Chains A and B, each alone.
Chain A
Amino acid sequence: MKLWERLATIDRRIIYSILALVVILPLILKPKIGVRVSEPVRDAYSAIEQLPTNSVVMISIDFDPSSAPEVQPMLIALLRHCFKKNLKVILTGQLALGLPMGEIALNQVAPEYQKVYGKDYVNIGYRPGYAAMMVGIGREIRDFFKTDYRGVPIDSFEFMRGVHNYHDIALLVSLAHGAVADAWIQYAGARFKQKIIVGCTGVNAPGMYQYYSAHQIEGIIGGLQGASEYETLVQKPGSATLGMPAQSAAHGLLILLLIIGNIGFLLSRKKSRGK
């Protein structure tokens, strides 16, 4: 087999091994790299930064553990930002399997800022049929959430007594890995003019740009890069910032392989045409 043919057909086991090395090594060596903050993430940060103290922010956990490595760091950074600004947080979720991710994050971040359950934040849990719920909150949140996730009436929490519909929610954050973010924008955003920011996986981020450029959402936190940008803004580097060298190296390797593969492909095509 000629060299260019080999270049175009590297065995997948070799590719897998190199990729594994390229991802694992930066995670072990932990090199420090600078993170550039993009406009959509800066806008998302500003949307929270501009909120007055005690404003209510609703965070919807619309992802499950499969996307947690990308989206969970966003949740932690957002919670840190909200608690640092003394905002009230309502946590909900549109995926039953995602809700514990929110509980894990709350229990990690709330003690850092001495925040108390019921006074500074609540977890109202999950209800099936998210489209109906999103429209229904526009009227009265109690139609769908009379109690929190442990069955405690939401009216027993002081700040929740003043929350009835989107009118009382200053900002909605959808942390999504699928179509749920679109549903929030279409139901809560378009119909009730709710301000929304979206945090999503890298795969979903391109689909959010049309809403962002049309000013239907305030900002986007896209993928691990977006999460690391938000961590940079809140000045608390976490797992996203730690993962960026590995992601950088993986992207670099893929570009390199694409170049090598295409050089091999072009040379072998030229050779076969010559024959």
Chain B
Amino acid sequence: MLDKYACLKKLAARRGTRDAVVTTMSVSMPWAEITDTPLDFASVDSAMGHGADFAYGIALAQPERRVLCLNGDGSTLMCLGTLVTITGRPAPNFTLIITENGTYEVTGNQPVPGAGSVDFEGLARAASVQEVYTIETEADFDAKLDLHFTAPGPAVFIWRIERADEPVPKPSAPIRQRAHDLRDALVG
């Protein structure tokens, strides 16, 4: 099993200055402690399950940037159709990371439906995503770190992570302001 915090630190260190990162739920607060640039966006206010859709839209609009979405397994399950949608009109610069720990972490680690039995790699492959990687060890993570930024998108990575106890994420500002700030950073 992976240590989420160690993986996030390595991902942030490898990230390019033009890469945009959308985070959701239990990843948002730890990510914000590591990096908080104008190209980071925490999708935590509402619309659970649609952070990946939002990031995919950015990727389509900004083909010269890598756009990554760090999505939980619970969030992914809320909109499994996204795995199909992203293959209908592929964005070569889009990376979806699914952090799989089997629980809704920010509400107290209640199990997600299908915890321990859902095959996210199989779901992505069945949706015809070509670049799919499940990572369970630190050594494998280190070996595949670059692929998060270079694999032809849509690329899906499943990180099998240890459970933790994250608080309910608190956004730094109202989502309206943060969305418009992100647009300024992307377009300006």
Partners in one complex: no
Chain A: residues with CB nearer than 8 A to chain B? Answer: none
B residues with a Cβ closer than 8 A to A are none
